[in-house]
Amino acid sequence: MAQKNKWKKLFIKVRTGNIPWYLKNKYFLASALFIIWLTFFDRNNFIDQYKLHVHLNDLRSKKEYYAEQIKIVKLEKQELFTNMASLEKFARERYMMKKANEDLFVFVSEKKKD
């Protein structure tokens, strides 16, 4: 209710000619319109800039994560190609390879049905 009275008093002042200073000041009005324009209507408004900033931070954190993963994979690759025992273990586990005189057993776990 107080807000309604405030606007009512403002309109009464405008009708009687007692206009507040901020409505007479063209620089204040231009600045206010400019800020409103930048906040809501411009192609590069503040809201979109904030969303882009958040997205950029997310991408930077993902970049750091993937850089760490690349380092880990490079170390695994180096270990795999320099050590024959690890290469043999990798081939047996991933690709189910075996030597000519070996038998291969694959255990598959059954899914429980409810």
Would you kindly state where each structural domain of the chain is located, as residue ranges? 1-42, 51-97
Which residue would you say has higher pLDDT here, 101 or 13? 101
- CA 103 → CA 3, 85, 89, 107, distances in Å? 86, 19, 15, 13
Q: What is the DSSP letter of 20?
A: -
| Planar angle of CA 101, 105, 111, nearest 5 degrees | 170
Please determine, for residue 17, whether its predicted confidence score (pLDDT) is greater than 90: no
Whole-number mean pLDDT of the chain? 85
Which of 5-14, 21-30, 56-65, 74-83 is predicted most confidently? 56-65
Q: By C-alpha distance, which of 32, 35, 33 is closest to 46?
A: 35
Mean pLDDT of 103-108: 80
